[in-house]
A and B are shown apart, each in its own frame.
Chain A
Amino acid sequence: MDKYFEMIRIRFLMMLAYRTNYYTGILIYSINIGAYYFLWSAIYGSKEHIVGLSMTQMTTYVAVSWMARAFYFNNLDREMAVEIMDGRVAIELIRPYNYLGMKTMQGLGEGVFRLFFFSAPGLIIVYFIFPIQFTWDPSVWGLFAISILLSFLINTELNLLTGITTFFLYNNSGLIRAKRVVIDLFSGLLLPISFFPGWAQEVMKFLPFQGISYFPSMIVTKGFSHHQALEAILQQFVWVILLFLPIQLLWYFAKKQLIIQGG
């Protein structure tokens, strides 16, 4: 267990060392929040509510969902693809740890770093610029904390799954890109799932994506009741477990048919 914690720490320190990326990152996220803020205020126009969300709630939703993304987002799929394609994965496999577990821990180290140095200050900055309202109810924030941890797990599992496909497809940069845009839309990052037409919402109930961004953001904006929030968290939890199975299965087959080129 110690070595996994060490991995989180190392990633954390690595992120600290490359800070320029992180300053520009804050700017990128603020720009995105700004763009969607103006877009949404144009969409709301003179309307008070759209599907139960007020403009203030919507602004909060946008801000929180982008800042939460900083925590759960990582490039594990791309890192894995690179390691598999240039053969480094061979060395990773003989090391005395679980490769996928280690990748998850690296992602977590990155996420924790961004949570403290990116999301938290970012939210404060955004709070002063845009009309955002936060609740001060600690139980809401508690549920939110559990919920984004589960979002991280779901998103990481999807990344690992995409990463493993490199073993079979050799070049999956297209798939990685496609996965990213699909997640941006269907996770509720760009717009809340409740805005979609009814049939699309029904379909998305059977997909893991809304557990990534929609659930935690709705919890903080109080778009969900306490009961709904608990249900959402339960659903996220089920997905975390469900996604674990195909990963193990694919990983098993991947190791069997792995061919290292060069060396």
Chain B
Amino acid sequence: MFYISMFFQYISQYIKTRLQYRADIFVEFFSDLLSQAINLVFILVVFGHTDLLGGWSRDEIIFIYGFFLVPFAVFSAFFNIWDFNDRYIVKGELDRILTRPIHSLFQIILERIELEALLGAITGLAVMFYAGSRLGLEMHWYDPFLFIVFVIGGALVYGGVFVMIACISFWADARMSLMPMMYNISNYGRYPVNIYNKLIRFMLTWVLPFAFVGVYPAAFFLGKREWFWYSFLTPVIGVVFFVLSVRLWNQGVTKYRGAGN
């Protein structure tokens, strides 16, 4: 209960501070929109030269991209920890976090929340509806519920992987820039995994399961039966990776020694 009330207090505080600088929100939203538009332009231009990409049509790829944007938006809103090492370990901010009465990871998530990233979900939904209507997809009564489950699963996959990467800084002192690398790898998950070779497909499914953020869950709504099994695995993988990451975090925090004065 305490955690929930903390959550809402931080959110209301956050909204107040953000509304001070409205222009910033607008600019950020616009630049997000631009980078999404550019990814779409890439898909459109590529399909000017081919009809199928590994057996998937243009609208299906666009649909996958639209789906991907939704869990990604949820992830970016709540797991803004890409500069964890710099901000909390090198500068010693974690000292302060550890004195707080709630779980340290939860405290960091609350502090670094970035709700405006959720606007990306709206773009994602719009893209999905556009592609879906062109494909003539039908909505079933259970689709919205499964959609929410898959989105949460996907966001947890992302969250789990990134929390684990952040945990590395508890053990290794060296300044690591693994985070941008992960962002790059995660781009793989936006395209159908069957275009990659076996090794990469295995990696994207079981090691860095970014395929569960884009193509696998989206395949369910596209009615691709051969991938259904993977689609339904999405929430499982999400929960497993997230629980693992929290465990790793709890281990790592005990190794934290502060950064001097």
Give the interface of A toward B (CB within 8 A): 18, 20-21, 24-25, 27-28, 31-32, 34-35, 38-39, 41-45, 47, 50-51, 171, 173-175, 177-178, 181-182, 184-185, 190-191, 195-197
Contacts and interface: CB of A to CB of B under 8 A. Distances in A.
Nearest to B41: A185
A190 B49 contact: no
A28 B175 contact: no
B215 to A, nearest CB: 13
A38 B31 contact: no
A20 B181 contact: no
A181 B35 CA distance: 6
Nearest to B192: A42
B50 A197 contact: no
A100 B178 CA distance: 31
Contacts of A20: 174-177
Interface in B167-186: 174-178, 180-181, 184-185
Nearest to B178: A24
Interface in B13-57: 24, 27-28, 30-31, 34-35, 38, 41-42, 45-46, 48-50, 52-54
B54, B177, B191 — which one has the most chain A CB atoms within 10 A of its CB? B177
A143 to B, nearest CB: 27
Given A31-B181, A43-B46, A45-B50, A174 B175 contact: no
Contacts of B24: 171, 174
Interface residues of B, number: 34
A240 B38 CA distance: 25
Contacts of A27: 181
A28 B177 CA distance: 10
Contacts of A173: 27-28
Contacts of B200: 34, 38
A28 B31 contact: no
A122 to B, nearest CB: 14
Contact of B35 (A21, A35, A177): A177
A249 to B, nearest CB: 24
Contact of A32 (B177, B184, B196): B184
A31 B48 contact: no
A184 B34 CA distance: 12
B27 A175 contact: yes
A185 B38 contact: yes
A162 to B, nearest CB: 12
B97 to A, nearest CB: 25
Given A31-B181, A184-B38, A178 B31 contact: yes
B162 to A, nearest CB: 15
Contact of B31 (A177, A191, A195): A177
A236 B45 CA distance: 25
Contacts of B41: 185
Contact of B45 (A41, A44, A178, A197): A197
9 contacts: A24-B180, A38-B200, A42-B195, A43-B53, A47-B50, A171-B24, A178-B34, A182-B38, A197-B48
